[in-house]
Structure 1
C-alpha cells in the first residue's frame, strides 16, 4: 500500500497524545512543562498533514462537489463535540462563575462559528495574561484558527491534489505558489511578533505556515515512488532523524519562551513535528514510531480532541471554585477531564461523525440542520448569559449589592435620569442627565479618572435621580487624571488626560463639581493573581519627585479652581487582600486564593496608603481643591475586612460594589455641601479628615 495513503497511521495518534498531554501539564501547572503551550503548534502541523491526507478519496467531479463533501466531513468532525462542550460549559459557567468575568459567554458563542480568536484578541489581549486563565473558552482560539484555515484549504487542495483537469506542470505551479504564501506567513509572523504579539498569536495569517508545513509534509509522503520519496526512505530507514526530531521537540517543550511566541519559538516544534510526521510514513518500524504507536499513546491520541476541549473547561471551573493547587485537586482535575473526554468520544464524536442519517442527507438538508443547531445552541448560551443573575449559585448575583452599575430603585420624587453611554477617544463617557427636575440650570458633576471613576456609576445615577445633577463619568481604564508615581503610560492615556481636561474646562461652570477618582493605594494582588505585595515591600518614603509631580498636578487643576469649579480629590481608599466576588460562596472559600489573608489592620492600611495620601493632600492644599476621604466609611473599625455589616464594599479587590456606592453617597454629598471653596480658601475637612500638606521630614511609612 502506498504509505502516503494509508487509512490510519497509529504513530500520528501517538503524536497527538504528546501534544495534548503537553498542553494539559502546562495548563495544570506551568512549572511541570514550561513550554507545554507549543502542543498547539504540534497539533497544527498534524492537522495540516491529516486533513490533506483525508481528501485522497475526495470526489473529482468538480470544485462545488468537492467543497460540499469536504465541509460535511469537517463539520461532522468538529462541531458535535464542540457544541456539547459549549452547551454544558455555558450551563456550568452560568451556575458557578460570577458575571465579573471577561466576555466568557461571548467567547463561547463565537467559538460555535469559528470566531473566538477575534473575540479573545479584542477583549482579553495576551493569551498568557492571568485573566485569560479564567475563561473556560479561551482554548477555542486554536480551533477558530484551524476552521479559518479550512475556508482556504479546499481552493488550493483541489488544484494541487484533486482536480483531474490540472496538468502536472500546473500542479507544480500552484504548489510553488502555496509555498510562497506559506513562506510569507512565516516572515509575517517573525515581523509581527515583536510589534504586536497578541495579533501574531491569535490570527491565521501568522499561523498559516504551521498548518502549511503539515500540508507539504503530506505532499512529500503522497508518492513514495518519486526521487524525493526514495531519498526520504533512505534517510530515515533507521529512524535517526525521527529520534533527533523527538529530542528537539522535548527541548522545545521544556525551554520555549512565551515572550518570544509565536516567533521564533513556534519554529522549533513545527520543524520537529514535520520531521516526525514524515517519519511515521517513511521511518518504518523504528524505535520512535514504535513508542508513538504504543496502545496507551494511541488511545490518548484518539480522544485527544475531546480531551483538549474538556481539559481546559475543568481546569478553569476548578480555578473558580475549589482551586487546583494541591496534588489531590490536580489529580481530580485529570480524572474528570479524562472521564468527560472518553464520554465525549464514545457518546458524541464517533456516533455523530459516522451517523448514517447525517451522512446520507442531501447537502442542503445537512447544512440546514447544522446551521439550525448552531443558532439554537447560540440562543441557548445567550439565554443562559442573560439569566445569570437569576439562576447563578454565586452570591454576586445580587446586583443591588455587588454591581456598581446596578441603579438604585426608583422612588417617588426621583428625577428621570436615563443613562447615556458613548466611546470617547481612548476612553468613554457615562452620562446621567436629570430630564424632569425643576432646576432651570442644573449643576454639573464630573467624575473623572481610571476604572475607579466608572465604579461610581451607581452613585452618579443617584446624584442625578435624587438630587437633580447632570452627571458625567469621563473614564479610561488604567488612566488617572492626576499622575502619581507613574512609570509608564498606557497607550492613549496622555491623549485622554488632555481631552478630559479640555472637556471639563469647556463645559464646567462656576459652582459645578469635579471628582477626581483613581487607584492610589497599592494592591496586594489583582483580581486574578496569586502573588501578593506586602506593605513592607512598598517604598513609602516621601521623595523630592513627589513634590515635582504634585506641582504639575496643581498646575492642571488651578484653572478649574480659578473659574469657581469645586475640585474634589478622592483620597486613597483601602484595598482588599482578595477579590471579594471570587471568595463569597461555599464552593470557592476553600480555594487557596481565598485562603489568603482577608483582613488587614487599619494601621497597616493607613501605612500602605500614606505616601499617596500625603501627595494628594499637598495637591489639594496648594491648588485650593478639597480632599474627600472615603477611608472611614470603607474601614470603620480596627480591621479592614472588605465587608461592612455583612455586605461587600468592593466587588473585587478595590472597585466599589453597589453597596460601597451607597455607603459613600452620604459622605460625598457632605463633601459637596462643604466644597463651596474657591481658589482663595483652604481645603475643607471632609468626613472629619483634614487635608494635610506634604511633610518631607516624615519618616518612611508615616501618614505625613
Structure 2
C-alpha cells in the first residue's frame, strides 16, 4: 500500500540522546536529516525523490538503536523505571503532537467539505490514542477517501513505535531477570521472525504489511541489535569507510530508484534498513561521519520530529484548497513553510517540555492526560456533527453528493473473485448473453450496460477485480489477479451463451501503455475472438488531476461552476499512444470500440459535469451519470 500513503520521522529519542555508550553523536542527528528530507521532498513531489518514503524505515532503525541503548544500560545498572521511561517518551512526543492534532481539527472543520470531514475526527481519535496505524489499516478502499484528504495519515508510524515500546522494555526487564545471556539471541530471533513475515506478506494489498507492527518491528529490532552489541567493532579505518559508503549508497539508491510501484515493505526494505544500520555502526571517525555531522544537516535532524509532524498536514491542506498537486512556487513555499513550522515547534514546544526543570515529571503526566482528554472530546464533538453540512449551501452539497454516485452494485458485485463469491448477473431475469471483464473502472459501466440490457430483456455478468486489467498473463502486485483473469477467461470459454465480452480498465493510468502490456492485451483479444465471441473494448476514461465532485463543489462555492473543465483530450491520447495505435487493427478484426474520450472530450477539453451532475465520483472513476453518458453516446 503506497500510493500517497505518507511516511514519517517517528519520535526517535531525544534530540541529543546518547548512543549505547552514553556519548552524543552529531552524525546520528545528521542521519535523521537524511531520513526526513527525502520524506518531505517525496510528499512535495520533488523530482529525484520517488523513493523518499524509505525515510520512515531509517527512523525506525535510529529509534531502535537510541532507545534500546538507554533501556539496556539502565536495566543493566539496575535502575530502569517504566515510569521514567514513559515520562521521557511523553516529553518527546505529546506536546508537539497534541498541538498538531488540535490545529488539524480546526483547519479541517474550517476547510473540509462534508464528505471529506467525517474521517478527520476518527483519525484524530486514533492518533491521540496511538492507534492510527490500526485505524488506517481498516480505513482502506474506494469509499474512505485517498491519502490526499487524510492530514493525520502520517501518524501511523508513531503508533507503530509506541506499540513497540509498550512491550519491548518489559521484554528486556524479563530477560535481565530470567535469561540475561539469551537477551541478544531472543531479540535476534524476534527480528528474524518479523522480517520473515514481512517478506512472506510483501505482496499483501490489504495494508497489513505496511501499517502493522508484526511486519515493521524488525526495522526497530535492527537498531536494537546494534545497541545490544553483538555486531563487532570494526578496527580498520578503511573498512569502516567502505561500510559507511555502502550504507549511504544503499539509502541513496532506495530514495532515487524506488517509487510508488515498488513492492514495499518486505525484502526491498533491507536496503534502507541495512544502510542506516551500516551508517550508525561504521560512520564515526570516517569522512561520511564528518559529513553527517555537518552543521546544517544536524540542524535539520534536531527539528526532524516537528518537521515530520507539520509537513504532511501543510501539504494536504494546500492541495485540498487548490485542487492541485504541489508544483512550482507552491511546492517551494510549502517546503519552506514546513521547515519554518518544524523549527518553531522544536524551539517553542519540544525544547521547553523536555526541560524537567521547567516542566516536572508530575506535570508532564498531567499535561499528557489533559491533552489526550481534550483532543478526544473535541474529536468526538466533531464526529457527532457528521460532515457538518450546515456550513455549506445546498448547491455545494449537491456537487459533493457526486462522491456517492457510484453503482449501487459496487459493494456486492465488485471483487467477487477475491471474496470467493459468485459473480453477479445484472439486468433482466434472463440468461446472460454478455460479460464485462475488467478492473474497478468496469463497475459503473456494467451498471449502465445492465440498465440498457434490462430494457431489452437481457442480462450480463460482472467480473471486475480491483487493479486487475482484463489481460491474460498480466502480473499485478496482488498475485491473485492472474488467477482472477484466468477464471474470467475460463468462464467465457465454458459458457457458449456469452456472445459478447466487454473489456474495461484504467487504461490511462500511465502504466498500461507499455508496448509489452499492449501486446498481452492484443493476445487476450485474439484469444476471445478465437472462441468466436464478440469483443467490445471500452477505451480509456480520461483521468483528472483532482477529485471531480470536490472540484465542482469548490467552484460552486466561488460562483465559478461555469468554468468547470477537465484535462485536454491531447493529454489523454498522449498517455495511451500505443493502445490507441491498435484501435484500427482491432476494428478490422471485428472488435467494437466504446470510446469515453470521444464522449467526454468532443471539443478538446474533457467534460467533468453534465446538467449539474459530476461525471466522476473521484478523479478517474466514472460516476453512474458519467457511465450512462458514455454508453449512450456510443450507441
TM-score (norm: length of structure 2): 0.67
What residue number does 1:697 align with?
Answer: none
Matches within 5 A, 1:46-57: 46-55=62-71
**Could you tell me whether the CA contact under 8 Å between 1:574 and 1:634 is conserved in 2?**
no
Is the counterpart of residue 148 in structure 1 residue 119 in structure 2?
no
Question: Aligned match of 2:36 in 20, 25, 28?
Answer: 20
| Matched ranges for 1:361-376 at <5 A | 369=370, 372-373=373-374, 375-376=376-377
Answer whether contact 1:575 1:653 (CA < 8 A) is retained. Answer: no
Are residues 1:74 and 2:89 paired? yes
CA distance in 1, matches of 2:543, 2:371: 48
Separation (CA, whole Å) in 2 of partners of 1:479 and 1:29: 23
Distance 1:447 1:299, change over 3 A: same
C-alpha displacement of 1:76: 3.9
| Counterpart check, 1:40 vs 2:56 | yes
Q: Residues 388, 537 of structure 1: CA spacing in aligned structure 2 closer, same or farther, 3 A cutoff?
A: farther
Q: Which moved more, 1:354-363 or 1:135-144?
A: 354-363
For residues 274 and 581 of structure 1, do their structure 2 counterparts lie closer, same or farther at Cα, with a shift above 3 Å needed? closer
Take 1:532 and 1:215, find their aligned partners in 2: how far apart are those partners? 43
The equivalent of 2:307 in structure 1 is 307
How big is each residue's C-alpha offset from its partner over 1:388-423, in whole Å with a ceiling of 9 and x where there is no partner? 79559996872445541499xxxxxxxxx9x99999
**Alignment match, 2:249:** 251
Instruction: Give the CA deviation at 1:300.
Output: 1.7
The equivalent of 1:185 in structure 2 is 194
Seen in structure 2, the aligned counterparts of structure 1 residues 354 and 430 have a Cα distance that, compared at 3 Å, is: farther
Q: Is the 8 A contact 1:401 1:647 kept in 2?
A: yes
Within 5 A, what are the aligned runs for 1:13-412?
Answer: 13-29=29-45, 31-33=47-49, 36-55=52-71, 66-89=81-104, 92=107, 95=111, 110-118=126-134, 136-159=151-174, 166=177, 170-190=179-199, 192-193=201-202, 200-220=209-229, 232=233, 235=235, 243-256=241-254, 258=258, 259=262, 261-262=264-265, 264-278=267-281, 283=284, 290-320=290-320, 321=322, 323=324, 326-352=327-353, 359-360=361-362, 369=370, 372-373=373-374, 375-376=376-377, 378-379=379-380, 382=383, 386-387=387-388, 398-401=399-402, 403-405=404-406
Instruction: Decide whether aligned partners of structure 1 residues 391 and 243 sit closer, same or farther in structure 2, where only a CA change above 3 A counts.
Output: farther
Tell me if structure 2 keeps the 8 A contact 1:518–1:570: yes
| Kept after mapping to 2: 8 A contact 1:107/1:116 | yes
How far residue 304 of structure 1 moved from its aligned partner, in angstroms, is 0.5
Moved more, 570-579 or 327-336: 570-579
Cα distance change of structure 1 residues 652 and 201 upon mapping to structure 2, 3 Å threshold: closer
Compared with structure 1, are the counterparts of its residues 62 and 460 closer, same or farther at alpha carbon in structure 2 (3 Å cutoff)?
Answer: farther
Matches within 5 A, 1:229-628: 232=233, 235=235, 243-256=241-254, 258=258, 259=262, 261-262=264-265, 264-278=267-281, 283=284, 290-320=290-320, 321=322, 323=324, 326-352=327-353, 359-360=361-362, 369=370, 372-373=373-374, 375-376=376-377, 378-379=379-380, 382=383, 386-387=387-388, 398-401=399-402, 403-405=404-406, 426=418, 451-452=440-441, 454-455=443-444, 476-478=464-466, 487=474, 490=481, 493=484, 497=488, 519=504, 523=507, 525-526=508-509, 546=525, 548-550=527-529, 552=531, 554=533, 572=538, 575-576=541-542, 578-579=544-545, 581=547, 584=552, 585=554, 596-597=567-568, 614=587
Which residue does 1:641 correspond to in 2? 606
Alpha-carbon distance in 2 for matches of 1:20, 1:452: 36
Q: Greater CA deviation, 95-104 or 38-47?
A: 95-104
Q: Does 1:655 align with 2:626?
A: no
Question: Structure 1 residues 157 and 422 mapped into 2: Cα distance closer, same or farther (>3 Å)?
Answer: same
Is the Cα–Cα contact under 8 Å of residues 33 and 254 in structure 1 kept in the other structure? no
TM-fit CA distance, 1:609:
9.8
Give unmatched runs, 5+ long, in structure 2.
1-17
SS in 2 for 1:32: coil
Q: For residues 304 and 631 of structure 1, what CA distance do their matches in structure 2 show?
A: 46
Deviation of the 1:47 alpha carbon:
0.6
Cross-structure match for 2:14: none
* Contact kept in structure 2, 1:480 and 1:517, CA below 8 Å: no
Distance of aligned partners of 1:193 and 1:636 in 2 relative to their CA distance in 1, 3 Å threshold: closer
Distance (whole Å) between structure 2 residues aligned to residue 580 and residue 3 of structure 1: 46
Tell me the distance in 2 between the aligned counterparts of 1:318 and 1:645.
29
> 1:518 & 1:141 partners in 2: Cα distance?
38
Q: Name 1:681's counterpart in structure 2.
A: none
Give CA deviations for 1:292-345 in whole Å, capped at 9, x if unaligned.
Answer: 444433322221111122233334445553756655333212111112212332
**Inter-CA distance 101–9: structure 2 relative to 1 (3 Å threshold):** same
Where relative contact order (Cα < 8 A, 6+ residues apart) is larger, the structure is 2
How many angstroms apart in 1 are the aligned matches of 2:29 and 2:241? 17
Q: Displacement, 1:51? A: 1.4
Structure whose alpha-carbon radius of gyration is higher: 1
> By how many angstroms is 1:181 displaced?
2.3
Q: Deviations over 1:55-108 (max 9, x none)?
A: 479699999x94444334324422443344344345556736895899887666
| SS of the residue 1:235 aligns to | coil
Is the Cα contact below 8 Å between 2:544 and 2:566 reproduced in 1?
A: no
Q: Is the 8 A contact 1:404 1:457 kept in 2?
A: no
- Displacement of 1:279 in angstroms is 6.0
Distance 1:52 1:202 in 2: 22
- Whole-Å Cα distance in 2 between the matches of residues 296 and 158 of structure 1? 38
Mean CA deviation greater in 371-380 or 604-613: 604-613
- Number of corresponding residues: 586
5+ residue gaps, structure 1, are 222-227, 408-416, 434-440, 509-513, 558-568, 620-626, 668-686, 690-704
Compute the displacement of 1:180 (Å). Answer: 2.7
For residues 436 and 393 of structure 2, what CA distance do their matches in structure 1 show?
A: 33
C-alpha contact 1:26 1:34 (8 A) present in aligned 2: yes
What SS does structure 1 have at the residue aligned with 2:504?
coil
Partner of 1:413: none
Contact persistence 1:101–1:135 (CA under 8 A): no
